[in-house]
Amino acid sequence: MSGIVVHLPRGSGGVVDGEPYGDAVTFRLGPGEGARFGRGSSRTPVELRLADAAISRLAGEIRVTDDHWQLTNHSSAHSYLVENPEGAGEYLRVPPRRVGAPIPFEFSRVVLPTRHDTTVSFQVFAPAHVYLDPEGAGGSGESLTVTAYSLDETATYFLVLVALCEPWLRDESPVAIPTTPQVVERLRGHAACVKLTSRAVSSHIDYLAEEKLRIDSPTGSEVRRGDRRNGKREAVVGLALRFGIVREEHLALLPSRAEPAPPGQWRA
């Protein structure tokens, strides 16, 4: 497992004085590493600060193992939910004082209760899911192989990848890789993407580039943020097309250009 990515969207860290709290926070944890979350204090430092008054100073902890990640609930009163946003309502409940609950989802949303009409949540991307090559599934242990790029074709990130590759697959001229707003607009008619935002699309592209396809991105102060973002999209599309990760038949996953796709065609 190469590790996990923890992402707290802007304004998702709770409510302070009646207003959403906090800028976006993103960090990576490798195997054996952990991060604590909660309100925090000078005596109780946390890596992920959730400022809502209903959340404990030390609410919980994330820890990464070799092949999955675990969630510890330090609360003595509240359960936490771990939702699979792409699993049609699938979720786990982590009860109070539960230590090291294993989380099986590739993409998770950790939800904490509050006294307000909104919850506090953060996202965890765990890219380590590996699938056996279907052609070798019936062989001996020594003959089994795994796929080089392990992607879930029912996930939203794969839908984003198909939308990025669509102009090339349709041989449109001049060919240009869609921008993030164009991907949002292209997928708007899909039942699973009604609430898809530009920020979410950017997160999916980062996830594809850094975790699923393992693309090295240029770094350094000399590289402008916009250039880095454009280069990442180009690299993702180039690799997906060269290795046949996205093919012409995958275009059927996209909503019709003429009318929205019917509900249920894609797993929400």
Q: What is the pLDDT of residues 177-200, one digit of tens each?
A: 999 999 999 999 998 888 888 988
Q: Which fold has domain 4-125?
A: Tumour Suppressor Smad4 (2.60.200)
Contact by Cβ (8 Å): 204, 127: no
Strand duo 48-49 + 80-83: pairing:
unpaired
Low-confidence ranges of the chain (pLDDT < 70): 1-2, 11-22, 87-88, 116-117, 127-147, 172-175, 217-229, 258-268
Q: Name the pTM for this structure.
A: 0.62
What is the model's pLDDT at position 265?
46
Residues 253 and 126: their CA atoms lie apart, in Å, by 24
Question: What are the residue ranges spanned by the domains of the chain?
Answer: 4-125, 156-253
Beta carbons within 8 Å of 129's beta carbon, 6+ residues apart: 106, 150, 152
